[in-house]
Structure 1
């Protein structure tokens, strides 16, 4: 164990107000505005900043006529100051939770598919077992949610781990996802020149795999449209080249689903579809499908949910193409900083998330 005097922040006489100054300057980049927000004078904030720089022996901000700009050292300290302030707030909440019994506030971040089943199931269990818990649910992409978890503003994620966040050593518990669509039984492959079978489905030796993934594989993605779309009514089965002249509503460029979808065309030497509307909000996506003959991509569990209410239908595609679509999304899982860092309330919610009836944790 280190003695107390070996900690640099003790020698530098670091105080809570120094953390507040760093956080405020990170938001405003202006001494006067930061001072106003903190309710102190501009000379006082300048003095606190000088104390910090002297304690660290580095320049944290470059002064300019119109404000201040954090140096690389300043950016680092701002990030840690925000995390420390959040941690102190969490500590206060946890003390209150322990004092009052299991109550408090748990913040969950989730990608789309768990919103159809796992999250509602868990909320129902929370209401039954811990009715005093306050729950906040935030949806977004895995990358967005991981950034928020890094800043300490979420407790638990149901998302996909991203390589860019590997250095943060988040705990990741993969969840094996069962496809919402039935897994059909296929005949044995029949190759050219071989006897028996007669099935046209496996007429090509280059494709011996089933159209749908086996259970517990990456989460399948399917093509869907409004239920009365001509492609669905006529039972048309699309090949990749058939998609070029169709109208699409897709997630923004840079998203995993959009990037992998475009890569299918590029690998086949095809141009991208000409008619693409970009929309991230799911309500907008479903409204566009309802009022237009547009196609989109959604995880199969989300499509199955909307099919129950007659909102969308599943557009059939060739088996080879469905196989490729089923590899777009990696399995999602539970992500957090570590159970020892979670509040009692968050640990209780984590345990309930692990009890999702349609999910089985992957065993390593």
Structure 2
């Protein structure tokens, strides 16, 4: 198979990616600026190299089979890697410091902001792009090479064979509400009282949602007064400020926005805390110089944060 992959040309990968998007040989040929017979010949050539049929021929187009879907995923990732190399190389050639795209869960915001601040001081020309999402979505982006590294958690056992994990921090939790929430001035002794309020929940299968469900399951209750699901802390923040809803959030975020006068922490003792989160990168692959510099600062800041816990 290694020798077969060596026979796949860059144009083959481009063709596969386009055919995967169009599912039509005529459209793929137009996108590639070749004739339809040439497109048919190229597909047959690729299948001959791999010694496998990748697409089922239908009356109105083609459809990738299981091997075809796997190959399309490889082609898309390889092309994205090529595009990222071209962008990074061009930036470095012109005297810049490269690009870096980081995906992170909302609970890592405090650690991430201190890291970004220091990295910008050390490498002022580095272009950083930050994306906030749940761990399951970030893992998909990492697999597709849409991000260079992620700060989050594994959400499936398959990811452990694909990515490398390095623990950064544990994450205590805090119930929060609007600044003048009716529960703000007293300590909640009975968790059942919380179930009577409307809640903003992270969606399944996020780790924060699992912990929230576990807390309510431990007292034999579920929220009954209305639920809104969202993966976005910023949407939650806006909704919390305009309603009497409650939300379970990482303590670092809760403390930061309580200091800013945007939220209040509800005084209640929770039986659980979030699982650790960490740095997740591609297994067996070296980081770019820009990513290495970022990770070095991230480790330093995480060490300080854990020492303060």
Do both share a fold (TM > 0.5)? yes
Q: Aligned in 2, Cα 1:147/1:129: closer, same or farther, shift over 3 Å?
A: same
Residue in 2 that maps onto 1:207: none
TM-score (norm 2): 0.89
**In structure 2, do the counterparts of structure 1 residues 281 and 94 end up closer, same or farther at CA, with 3 Å as the change threshold?**
closer
SS of 1:230's equivalent in the other structure is coil
The answer to whether structure 1 residue 220 and structure 2 residue 166 are counterparts is no
Consecutive unaligned residues in structure 2, runs of 5 or more: none
Deviation track 1:272-293 (CA, whole Å, cap 9, x = no partner) reads: 4242122333232122211211
Q: 1:275 is matched with which residue?
A: 226
Change (3 A) 1:227 1:98: closer
User: Residues 360 and 38 of structure 1: is their aligned pair in 2 closer, same or farther, counting only changes over 3 Å?
Assistant: farther
What are the residue-to-residue correspondences of 1:353-364 with 2, within 5 Å?
353-356=298-301, 358-360=304-306
**Aligned length, in residue pairs:** 306
Residue 241 (structure 1) shift: 1.5
For residue 198 of structure 1, what is the aligned residue in structure 2? none
Question: How far apart are residue 158 of structure 1 and its match?
Answer: 1.3
Identify the residue that residue 277 of structure 2 maps to in structure 1. 332
Q: 2:48 aligns with which of 51, 54, 62?
A: 54
Give the deviation of 1:237 after TM superposition. 0.9
* Residue 94 of structure 1, CA deviation: 5.2
The answer to whether the 8 Å contact 1:102/1:130 transfers is: no
Aligned residue number for residue 213 of structure 2: 262
* 1:158 equivalent in alignment to 2:151: yes
Contact 1:172 1:336 in 2 (8 A): yes
| Greater helix fraction, Structure 1 or Structure 2 | 2
Gaps of 5+ in 1: 177-217
Give the structure 1 partner of residue 113 of structure 2.
Answer: 120
For residues 286 and 54 of structure 1, the distance between their equivalents in structure 2, rounded to whole angstroms, comes to: 55
Provide, for residues 129-176 of structure 1, a one-character-per-residue CA deviation record: whole Å limited to 9, x for no partner.
212211111110111111111111211211113333435342211013
The alpha carbon displacement at 1:250 in A equals 1.4
* Post-superposition offset of 1:96: 4.5
Q: Tell me the equivalent position of 1:139.
A: 132
Query: Which protein is bigger by CA-based radius of gyration?
Result: 1
Instruction: Give 1:338 deviation, angstroms.
Output: 5.2
Q: Structure 1 173/74 Cα, relative in aligned 2: closer, same or farther at 3 Å?
A: same
1:72 is matched with which residue?
A: 66
Partner in structure 2 of residue 8 of structure 1: 4
TM-score, normalised with respect to structure 1: 0.76
